[in-house]
Amino acid sequence: MAYPIPKLSDADVPNTVVNRNKNFQFNTIVTTSLKELSANPCGQATIKVGHGEGVVEIYDGSQLGQNHLALDSSRAFSLSSGESFTFHGLTNSNQLTAKATIGTGDLFVRTEFYSGTVQF
């Protein structure tokens, strides 16, 4: 007995399952001025700092509308060259802003909706 070959095109199956866990990678250079990260819908963002002269400070929430001089460094998450961290509970990567303490810093960012690893 031969089994029929399923047809999986959008025309044949109107309610196809969509993988919402698309991930995006981008890199950006930050200076001593605050920079909002690129806008990608996501549930989490992993940020790794590449080569840089100093520490990169990452702030939760968009800080661009705030008085930049009044930003408190104690509210920032500080990453040195080669360090990485995953920020959870996001709806968009532009909820994070970053700046270098001195000079410039390279940021490598990977966004995704959820992680396949267990978080503790």
- pLDDT (tens, 9 = 90+) of the chain, 120 residues, equals 565 655 555 555 555 565 666 788 999 999 988 888 888 888 899 999 997 778 999 988 756 655 555 567 778 899 999 999 999 888 888 889 999 999 898 999 999 887 666 555
pLDDT of residue 38: 86
Residues 6+ apart with CB under 8 A from 111: 23, 24, 25, 40, 41, 42, 44, 45, 46, 90, 93
In the prediction, which pLDDT does 72 show? Answer: 72
Boundaries of every domain in the chain? 39-110
pLDDT of 33: 86
Total-model pTM: 0.72
| pLDDT score of 24 | 87
